[in-house]
Amino acid sequence: MQNNENEASGLQLNPWTSVWLHPRKTVQYVLEYKTGSFVLMIAALTGIIHFLDQATGNDLFKNWNMAAVLLVALLAGPVIGVIGLYIASAIYHALSMMLGGLGTFEESRRAFTVSSIIIVIGGLIWIPDLLILGQGNFTSDYEFSFGQLGWSMISLIANSILGIWSLIVLIAAIAEVHRFSAWKAALAVFLPIIILVVILLVIIGLTAPALF
């Protein structure tokens, strides 16, 4: 009877809405009820959004029209997203295992997928971005109107909040699948960022004297 109740509650869960406040339940639902195609779909959509984010203010695209940028994003983004899924999942899984985690690589991959749902939903902001800011999205010296500047600030703040919330969801999801504390999960998530910052600081420290 208990199993039937759990199955019924699982079938009623919508990961697109539950992920915001119930990441642990969401990752369990994704593990039990979602197939690999769902994981790849989220990865592909995340890749498209990350491509557009990287193209923002990038003068490489300032002479491209928006249709060309979107076409490249639709073609290259999914590949980048899937590759990023496996690389990021491998890093988080390895660090989680070093910290005593008990989850499998597949569970780590699903945990990363759950956090990416936030990114996918947040990617909807690109619709008004393209409509309001137009080519200004892809040009660093674009002269925005007052209204466009206002929207760009709103978009920046919204994206920052969603990025932070995605990290919080990732920490909760990793803690769930590896059966350890949120503190260990936070360490597994932030350690790669800390290492990357240290490497960049070392590189800057070594190259800066040569520039002056």
Q: What's 22-85 look like in SS3?
A: CHHHHHHHHHHHCCHHHHHHHHHHHHHHHHHHHHCCCHHHCCCCHHHHHHHHHHHHHHHHHHHH
By the 8 A CB rule, do 58 and 20 touch?
A: no
Question: What global pTM score does this model have?
Answer: 0.85
The ranges of the chain with pLDDT < 70 are 1-11, 208-212
pLDDT for 8 equals 45
The share of the chain scoring above pLDDT 90, in percent, equals 68
By the 8 A CB rule, do 155 and 6 touch?
A: no
For residues 126 and 181, give the distance between their C-alpha atoms in angstroms, rounded to a whole number.
35
**Residue of 106, 90, 99, 112 whose CA lies nearest to 35:** 106
pLDDT for 209 equals 65
By the 8 A CB rule, do 42 and 117 touch?
A: yes
pLDDT for 211 equals 56
Q: Report residue 205 as tokens.
A: 């420290």
Mean pLDDT of the chain, nearest integer: 88
For residues 102 and 191, give the distance between their C-alpha atoms in angstroms, rounded to a whole number.
19
**Residue of 4, 5, 1, 7 whose CA lies nearest to 29:** 7
pLDDT for 6 equals 47
Q: What is the DSSP letter of 180?
A: S
pLDDT for 11 equals 57
Q: Report residue 56 as tokens.
A: 């923002």
The pLDDT tens digits for 76-113 are 999 999 999 999 999 999 999 999 999 999 999 999 99
Cα separation values, 159 from 49, 103, 180, Å: 11, 30, 29
